[in-house]
Amino acid sequence: MNSLDTSIVIWLNGLSGNIKIFDDLMRIVASDYLMPLVFSLGMFGLWFSGKTPAQRVMYQLTMLVGISALSISNVVVWLFNITLERPRPFVEHGDQLNLLFYPPTDPSFPANPVAVGFAAATAAWTINRKFGWWMFAAASLFGFSRLYAGVFYPSDIVGGAVVGIAIYGFTTYFRRFLEPMITSFVRLIRGLSAA
């Protein structure tokens, strides 16, 4: 498994350096700022997108669950990180990789940005399939760009995706333990004319 992981990242990263514009595009997509903002904006936009009061409440409750899932995903990824402490590909195979990104100092498994992206995408998908698929595509592209840049193994990306989706499911289930606080919070925001 490890050797397959290594072979894939070395092969994929080996494609870099041939088409500069593609490398530059991957550097921008892999940035810490673009895709995380896209996920946040997706959730922010959905909050205001409902066309009827009932649809709006459903969207907003789902977005609150999604935001909670993002936070919990970070904690779960951190727990995996400190337990497994898997080194980054450029640490183990630096001589065979062309690093397109700054060398992160935290462990590799699972991929935190992918977990966050998939948690947000799952939240969006549960209320709007079409938009949700676009969010999944964005999260996958984000993962691919980090893989191409040589900072994650493929199994880190898959692990991150699984963590993100699973945490969203867990958070949806967990919501029932916090009612009626969540619904009342949405009602409070509606009182401020923002929900």
Partner 1 sequence: MNTDPMVVRDLFAGHYFLFAFLASLGTLQIAVSNAGTRGLWLTPHAAMTRLLGIALILTAIAVFFLQPLWVDGPWAAGSVEADSLSRDWGKASWDELAGARNVNDIHGGLDGVKQTGWFSLAATLALAVSAIVGTVSVKILNVADKSSDVDVTDPNVGGLEGLKNRSYFANLPSSLRNFRNDIGGLWRDELGKADRWSVVRMLSRRGDSSK
CB of 1 to partner 1, least distance (A): 29
Q: How far apart are CA 24 and CA 124, in angstroms?
A: 29
Q: Check if the beta carbon of residue 167 is closer than 8 Å to that of residue 66.
A: no
Using CB under 8 A, which of 4, 85, 94, 179 touches partner 1? 179
Peptide bond into 89 cis (omega under 30): no
**Binding mask of the shown chain, residues 87 to 126, with x at each position contacting partner 1 by CB under 8 A:** ------------xxxxxxx----------x----------
Residues 76/185/35/147 CA torsion (nearest 10 deg): 20
| Helix, strand, coil percent values for the chain (each to nearest 5) | 75, 0, 25
Smaller CB distance to partner 1: residue 38 or 165?
38
Nearer to partner 1, 5 or 149 (CB): 149
Interface size with partner 1, residues (CB under 8 A) = 49
List contacts with partner 1 (CB under 8 A).
23-25, 27-28, 30-34, 36-37, 40-41, 44-51, 53, 56, 74, 99-105, 116, 176-181, 183-184, 187-188, 190-195
